[in-house]
A = this chain, B = another copy of it.
Amino acid sequence: MTPPPTHTHAAIVSIGDELSLGQNLDTNSRWIAEQLSILGIMTLEHVTIGDDQADTARTFARLAERTGLVISTGGLGPTLDDLTRQALADILGEPLITDADALRDLETRFTSRGRTLSEIQKIQACRPASARMIPNPNGTAPGVHAVVPTPRSTFPHADIFCLPGPPGEMKPMFAASVVPALRPAPGRTVRVRFIHMTGVGEGDAAAALGPLMDRNRVPLVGITASGGVLTCRIRYEGPLPPDAVDALIEETAVEIRRAIGPHIFGEGGLSLVGAILNELVSRAATLATVESCTGGMLGQLITDVAGSSAAYVGGFVSYANEFKTELVGVDPVTIAQHGAVSEATAREMAIGGLRLTSASYALSITGVAGPGGGTAMKPVGTVFIGLASRAAPDQAVVRRFFMPGPRDDVRRRAVTSALSMLLFTLRNPGARMRLLWEQG
């Protein structure tokens, strides 16, 4: 059988009761869609289903007809609720056979670790007769690639790639074995460009963009909010040559920059943390953090970026009040008079971060993340963010925010707002820009 001549669209399927029942969060689909988008292949649909053979087969068949390219994760493990291979065999109308090479690899993997291969594990060396195995260097379950007939489509066949669920296994397999097998469309151009902004609400940004967001516009402009960062998406898909598309997209980007102004902090894969690290590194400056209600989330987000050690010295998770006073140097009188969640405490936390480390800047966060702990004067969601700089350590700036939503949202928004505050200060030292969720 021959696969479809080109891959222009795709669908992604995540398989597992733990996902459909909401016990675990699927992060694979997002990652795969992003990778496909880079290749110019548009993902039309992600589907998550349980460990059900008939449902898997039905979903594979529907999406193969719709898109010509289906990538699944999950259901390839050794246990009896792993049924992806069987579903693939069902739509092919073929038996499962044992792949001799895969079985040998599996045996080698087990014996080299002093373990013996159990019967239950051997299912991982099976595939539908016409399919091929996809090697898995980081785990026991290989993937499977099959070409299935699509009689109701304009193309005669579709590719289905089945990968295991653990991201540490799936991602290297996708890069090494799926990407080289894909055939993005010739003669067709797909481009997506992202422009990121922070400290501004979605409605205000949309009002500023106005007719740029018309649904019939080419290229299309969309907007999305995620935890305080807003992203404008400029997207083109059509017959124009790449150069013309790039020019068209650049024209739109210019209009967006004109409409939004200094709230824009970067483009493409640049995160808010990445923008800050660039600013810090370019002036040989460093950062320390002093966190209370966010409990390490700010440090974690910064150190998510490999290479953050160039500008991040470290931080304090001053969760208990004694930690704030004894280790960060907040005056116990300040906490007694103003409370741990106060402008004064945030200021002393930031100044303490500077005094204790060699950092050029120190960011502090203290707030009421909830669900308990709120008062009439300081309801759940109240957060104070402090920023002190080595150049003028006594002039630490503190801003008060009200973050809507439950505990996790309050914490995430506090972290984003702290990063926004630092970035605006680095880029526009004189200006006073009001931030989203800022009070007073």
Contact = CB atoms under 8 A, between A and B. Distances in A.
A24 B312 contact: no
A139 B233 CA distance: 23
Given A17-B224, A295-B300, A296-B317, 5 more contacts: A25-B30, A296-B315, A297-B303, A306-B407, A317-B317
A25 B299 CA distance: 21
Nearest to A138: B404
B26 A30 contact: yes
Interface string A146-168: 00000000000000000000111
A29 interface: yes
Nearest to A405: B168
B140 A203 contact: yes
Interface string A32-52: 111111000011111111110
A395 interface: no
Given A291-B296, A298-B296, A408-B304, A77 B202 contact: yes
Which 4 A/B pairs are nearest by Cβ-Cβ distance? A168-B405, A295-B303, A22-B33, A296-B299
Classify the secondary structure of A's interface with B.
mixed
A47 B45 contact: yes
Given A19-B30, A120-B206, A80 B37 contact: no
- Chain copies in the assembly? 2
Contact of A78 (B203, B294, B370): B203
Contacts of A322: 313, 358
Interface stretch (A207-215, A246-254, A386-394): A207-215
A357 interface: yes
A20 interface: yes
A364 to B, nearest CB: 13
A305 to B, nearest CB: 9
A18 B222 contact: yes
A235 interface: yes
A313 B289 CA distance: 17
A26 B27 CA distance: 8
A342 B21 CA distance: 41
Nearest to A408: B304
Interface in A398-413: 404-409
